[in-house]
A and B are shown apart, each in its own frame.
Chain A
Amino acid sequence: MDQQEQAFLSAALGMGDERLERRLLVGFHLVRDCCRIADDPSWVPRVRVAREALTLALANGTFAPGDLEVPALADLLRALDSEKPNRASVYAALVSYIHALYREASFPAALAAHDVLEQLWTPECPIRDRLEAAYFQGFMQLRAQSAREVSKFSPILLALRARAAGEGEFIALAGVIHHARTMIMGNLPLALREGEKRLRQLHRHPSLWAEGNYLHSMAATHGRAGRPDETLRIARSLLDDRYSSFTVFGALNLIGVAFTDLGDLEAARNAFELTLLAPTALLRRMAALGLMDIHARRMERRAFEQIYRYLINQPFAVDGRIHFFQVAGRGWARFGDPVRARASFDEAYRIARDCGFGYEIFETEELIDKLPDPPRLAHASDIAPEVAAHVGAMRDEHADEIAACLA
């Protein structure tokens, strides 16, 4: 069994959510054919099962209207549905599918599909498709726990490839990956300096794609650096039709987070509810997480737990997963459950340490420090009531003297 085929299947069936698994299994049958073609160019794809599975998934609501995966899968199906598929079309369709998987936060499946894409490549495939795939792969490596170490090479390799191909826009996009990496590793002053420099460079080589992403990264960096006002200023400039819907909804999510930090929960709720309309599940989940945070701050336990139960099995980017556990921990702490809060923070801390996310490590340590120490309470529970009773009795004995002192 081809390693990539096996990796994709394992990723598809390891999502922990039956609906997501059914969606990925449709893709599995097509990715399988891509593996075969990569190995044997004369292979005639067998798309019947994939077509039937896609039709069934559309009919029974596994796919919702507007899901990014649907057009991508349909394109891939169309490209493969031939006795002699055109390699460039199959390649381009697989790139779109990987993009859709990235937006749906199915990172392990997307990375496995990307390995298939590398095998599928031949010189007849358009270079722009290859660069686009490398760009998304760079982000996936950064945001998927397993491949973070490799991500340090992604920007330079993408930039080298883009320069060799004369595709200036992708040189700028390589910078976007680098900038996001700097921010996520926790070096905020450097991220701010780097972002400002790169934005100035974009005046000479304009690219709306890169500009939107830089601005988004800058807004997020200011938010992390404790400047929600700057976040709001930059994010508002992204609420513009010039930018892609992903960028606009991403900005709305940042606005929600900034308002939450400022304590304006009503404005934050409006922003998060708008983000729920985003075309990608990744952003919709972030919006749900924002709403969960608001419910915790408003002490609305039932609504908080409802979203918690929904999100616990949903795929996130690794930074999103850390944020989820932090929000959950803060919520449990507010609801007076320090043991559960500590477990959530410990999980956030573990992931942050595994990934070397400096900012998240410090942030989670601070959150843990703020918790009351349940072991201390537990250890004192056998002696504390006895001593309290003893002191109470002593106080009663000296009640008159104390009253005289207080008079």
Chain B
Amino acid sequence: MTDSALPEAESAPTSPTGEIPRAAIGFALDRTFADRLARATANAALLLTLQDISADDLCDILVLDPRRVAPRSSESAVVRRHVEANVPCVYYTASSPEALRSVVAASDVSPVRLVLFDVDDDPTTFREVIDLAPRQAHTNRLRLAMKEALRPLVPSVRTALDMVLRRPDRFFDASDVATRAGLSRRHLDRLLTAADLAPAKNWIVGARAWHVAYLLVRAELSVETAAERLGYADSKALRRHLAAVWNVSPSQLSCADLDMLLRDAVAFLGTREPDLESGAG
């Protein structure tokens, strides 16, 4: 919640992952769908219809059935305002062809997840989706920013680097990236050089730093916990990587502007500089 105009919750439980405090969820759903959302969040979140959100308010998450948001309606204006403010959005709709067609038609929103009614909307899964949405939206910001830079690469390399951006904890050094791309390290580096992109190791470092930014700035975790989450042996390596990407310490990072961090992270991934000396973990 970014504005105090919306009512406060009685209690503030944390998510199963322990990352997200109680959230305000704006929704545009039919009654049955809304009931399931309420059951999944089990009063741990504040649910608001799009009409209930005043012009100055922003929710933490949107859960929308694209069939319920008519183009050029007042709801659509609310959605647009949230999209511009990088508020994560989850699509929740039926599995019929008509409903899926509305998902494709609503191209101005990039939902972090598509949840299908009666398929993956059991309370546990739905709750997990809601909890992880902010983190996924944060990851997607970097992925979207790098999308054009990745486009000219061969598909296996493009997918491998995208995977690095999404799950940097699964990669330790450039060999992991090369293996996933089905290439030798040398050939991978040759392709990255040709595309004028940073070496694979820098991608791991940059992606990890971006994830750290979320854990420290948004989830307000300690440096040690953030380091553990991302598979670092200790927080020293994490600090070294933050310094390499942004030249900041973890405490300075907590006060930094995310837009500026994103710009620098993109520059770091798109710049060919010598390999960082250290490994990733």
Residues of A within 8 A of B (CB): 1-3, 5-6, 9-10, 13-14, 21-22, 25, 28-29, 32, 39, 46, 48-49, 111, 114-115, 118-119, 121, 123, 130, 134, 137, 141, 147, 149-150, 153-154, 157, 160-161, 164
Contacts and interface: CB of A to CB of B under 8 A. Distances in A.
B160 A164 contact: no
A305 B187 CA distance: 51
Listed from nearest, the 9 A-B pairs whose CB atoms lie closest are: A118-B159, A1-B111, A1-B114, A153-B154, A49-B95, A13-B104, A161-B182, A46-B119, A10-B104
Nearest to B151: A150
Given A10-B104, A29-B95, A49-B95, A150 B152 contact: yes
Given A1-B91, A9-B104, A149-B152, A46 B113 contact: no
Contact of A134 (B112, B166, B182): B182
B181 to A, nearest CB: 8
B184 A121 contact: no
Contacts of B167: 39
A6 to B, nearest CB: 8
B116 A49 contact: yes
Chain B: interface size category: 20 to 34
A154 B156 CA distance: 10
B119 A48 contact: yes
15 contacts: A1-B91, A1-B110, A6-B114, A9-B100, A9-B103, A14-B104, A22-B97, A46-B120, A118-B180, A134-B156, A141-B155, A150-B153, A150-B154, A160-B183, A164-B184
Contacts of A121: 180
Contacts of B68: none
A121 B170 CA distance: 13
B159 A28 contact: no
Contacts of B278: none
B187 A5 contact: no
B271 interface: no
A49 B100 contact: no
Contacts of B187: 160
Contacts of B163: 119
A5 B116 CA distance: 13
B183 A161 contact: yes
B263 interface: no
Interface in B91-107: 91, 95, 97, 100-101, 103-104
Contact of A28 (B100, B112, B156): B100
Contacts of B116: 49
Contacts of B180: 118, 121
A157 B100 contact: no
Nearest to B180: A121
Contacts of A39: 166-167
Given A10-B104, A22-B97, A49-B119, A123 B155 contact: no
A48 B180 CA distance: 31
Contacts of A13: 97, 100-101, 104
A118 B163 CA distance: 10
Contacts of A115: 155, 159
Given A1-B114, A9-B100, A49-B116, A114 B155 contact: yes
B14 interface: no
Contact of A154 (B101, B153, B154): B154
Given A118-B159, A161-B183, A1 B152 contact: no
A39 B110 CA distance: 18
A144 to B, nearest CB: 12
A214 to B, nearest CB: 24
Contacts of B104: 9-10, 13-14
Nearest to A111: B155
Contacts of B225: none
A1 B97 contact: no
A32 B114 CA distance: 10
Nearest to A147: B155
Given A13-B97, A119-B159, A153-B191, 5 more contacts: A13-B101, A118-B159, A118-B180, A137-B155, A160-B183
B179 interface: yes
Nearest to B191: A153
A111 B155 CA distance: 9
Interface in B142-199: 143, 152-156, 159-160, 162-163, 166-167, 179-180, 182-184, 187, 191
Contact of A118 (B101, B114, B160, B166): B160
B101 A157 contact: no
Contacts of B110: 1
Contacts of A32: 114
A225 B179 CA distance: 42
B144 to A, nearest CB: 9
Given A1-B111, A118-B159, A150-B154, A160 B97 contact: no
A64 to B, nearest CB: 20
Query: Which of B110, B120, B153 has the largest number of chain A CB atoms within 10 A?
Result: B120
A323 to B, nearest CB: 26
B103 A118 contact: no
A157 B154 contact: yes
